[in-house]
Each structure stands twice: as structure tokens, then as C-alpha cells.
Amino acid sequence: MHRTLSLLVGAAGLCLAGHAAAWSQPTHKNIAKDALAFLNSAYATPDMQRAYRFYVDAAGSEAKAGEILGQAAYDFDDFQDTHLGGWWVGYEYAPMGDAAAKLVNYTSYWHFINMGRDGDAHGNDHGGYDYRYHKVDGGLGDIDRYAMIYLYNRELLKSDFDTTEAHYRQGTRSDWQADYGDFQTMAFQPIDNVAKYWFDQFKAAPSLQTIGYVLHATGDVAQPHHSWVTSANGHTGWETWVDDRYVRERFADPVAVANLIGAYDTRQPLRDLLTQTAAIAYQHPEALYDTSDATRMRLARQLIPQSVALTAAVLTKAANAFYGQDSL
């Protein structure tokens, strides 16, 4: 019996290691770079052009600015700021005693927004990852269920509740044991709160790295798996498919981005811009079920330009804030 349980937990841990963040890390980096380039395109408004000069002048060149912004968006998945466990097993920031950190860190549980359900335990308009309300896969590849088995009854480390969670709370309410005492009932804060925290950090002490962290969120909200709240349902296969074809298929076509960016009013609150995009992604549940090249190609040509447009808008909004013109 003990051996059977050990094998089950080991299998759950290995499956959990396949838990993926929205888009692959290289795709996050590409989106940031393409958004920066768009700010200097023929379609850019004067505010966008000023934002482009702001970032490029700070870094010394477009290539350097794009690399810093993109690397920050890439690195966001590697944060070691979320430890799950308990006194009986210890705490880890990644599965299998951190051994699977190159595949996934638990920080990714802050990278969701549930657009299918209003409200959450904290008082947010939309909640984040919560196993009770995730989109059930039901198949052998149901990573969410394996994660729940592996992490069953594990809690968030108290010091992470006092720091990471407190940063992402953004004026809502939280209780360590009630909200983070057992993984199967944890109510993680949503990605728009995460982005707001880092945007405020940028406004307090502007740097390309801090705004680059925000750009990870502008990628996440355009990925349907993150607005439907699932680590399963073809999550990894979809993001790998997009990554493999991103450059070759020119998913970030500036013309497509130009046709979308007018819908983003940079005077609006950051979280409103993010939920605007998340609502669009939520309208495409086919990403969770249809793995055909035709469907994936159609979705990528819609959602990657959406993400680039949002990212360009947020970069512009941040530069406007630097110049004292971020009115909302």
C-alpha cells in the first residue's frame, strides 16, 4: 500500500511538472519585442512614438530595450516567490522538491483570471486559479487533477502570504488559512492584480525590468486556457504549437495589430485593459478542445495580435505615466 501511494504521488508530481504558464516563455519574449517595434511603425500614434523613444533611449537601442523587456516577461515564470507545503513535507516552489523548477514553478498559479465566474473569496471582480472552479479536463492528461492530488492539503508558506500574496491582494481581503490553507480550496489572486502591483512598482521607480514583468500578464490574458482556468485541456500542446510557428507564420503581423489597438484606451485603468483582453480570449474555448492546425492557425492569428496590441497599449500607458499623463 505504501509503495502504491508513493508511485501515485510520484506520477502526480511528474504530471504536475507539465503544468504550463500562458504562452511559452519565448513567445512572451517575442510579444514584448514585437509590441515595442510596433510603437515605431507607420501605424503608431504620437503617444506611441514617444513611448518608443522613452524605452529605446533608456536602453540605448531598440534591440537592447526589446531584450530587457522581453527577458523580464520571460523570467516572470521563474519567480521563486510561492512555496507550497507543510510541516510534514516541507515547502517547495516547484514540484518534486524544486527538482522540476526548469519546467514549472508554483508562481504560475497567480497567472490566471476566471472570466467564467464573477467574484471570488477576496472580493475581486474575477478570481484567479481555484481548483474548485477550474475547467475540468477529465482525461488521462488532466494535469489539474494530478496537481491537486500531489498538493492535497498543502498550504501557502506564511511568509509568502505576507509578501507575494499581500502584494497581489490590491486592497481585497485575504485570510492565510481560510484562503490558502489547503491547495484544493486555495483562491489565488488573479493576474490583473499581479500586473497592477508591478505597474505601480514601475510608476514608483521606473525601469524596463518592472514594466517587463507587467508584459508577462499582457500575454497571459490573451491565452484562452488562462481565462478558462485550466493547466490541462491541451494547454502545453497549444502553447508549443504557437511557439514553433510564431516567427514563420508572422503571427504578430503589424497590420493585424493596427486593426485592434484602437480598441485600447490607455486612459483606462490597467486592470480594465487586461480584463478586456481576457474576455476576448474567453470567447475562444476551442483552443481547449480542437487541436487541428486549421483551428490553431485561426486562433493564433487572432489572439497573438490581440496580445501584441494590448502590450503596445500598456507600454504606451506606462510611458504616459512617466510623463505625468496617465489620467486614470
Is 285 a member of any domain? yes
Can you tell me the distance from the alpha carbon of 166 to that of 176, in angstroms, rounded to the nearest whole number? Answer: 10
Dump pLDDT digits (tens) for 247-296. Answer: 999 999 999 999 999 999 999 999 999 999 999 999 999 999 999 999 99
Report how far apart, in Å, the C-alpha atoms of 267 and of each of 138, 316, 317, 327 are.
Answer: 42, 10, 7, 6
C-alpha cell at 82: 510561492
Residue 327 within any structural domain of the chain: no
Given a cut of 50, is residue 8 above it in pLDDT?
no
Indicate the pLDDT class of residue 101, thresholds 50, 70 and 90: low
- pLDDT at residue 18 above 90? no
Q: CA quadruple 292, 27, 36, 322: dihedral positive or negative?
A: positive
Asked whether residue 43 is assigned to any structural domain, the reply reads yes
In sequence order, what are the beta bridge partners of 85?
91, 155
pLDDT at 137: 87
Question: For the whole prediction, is pTM greater than 0.85?
Answer: yes
C-alpha cell at 89: 513535507
Amino acid at 103: L
For residue 103, what pLDDT band results from cuts at 50, 70 and 90?
Answer: confident
Residue type, 176: W
pLDDT for residue 167? 98
Question: What was the pLDDT predicted at 327?
Answer: 56
If DSSP codes are grouped into helix, strand and coil, which group holds residue 70?
helix
Residue 160 lies in a domain: yes
Q: Domain with 239 in it: what CATH number?
A: 1.10.575.10
What's the pLDDT tens digit per position in 166-182?
A: 999 999 999 999 999 99
Torsion angles phi and psi, residue 269, rounded to 5: -60, 145
Q: Is the pLDDT of residue 5 over 80?
A: no
- What cell does 298 get? 485561426
Separation between Cα atoms, residue 15 and residue 18, nearest integer Å: 5
Residue 315 in contact with residue 45, Cβ under 8 Å? Answer: no
Provide the residue range defining the domain that includes 261: 2-322
Q: How many separate domains does the chain show?
A: 1
Would you say residue 328 lies in a domain? no
> Considering the domain boundaries, does residue 315 fall inside one?
yes
pLDDT tens for each residue of 224-252 = 999 999 999 999 899 999 999 999 999 99
Q: What is the mean pLDDT of residues 52-76?
A: 97
pLDDT for the residue 22: 57
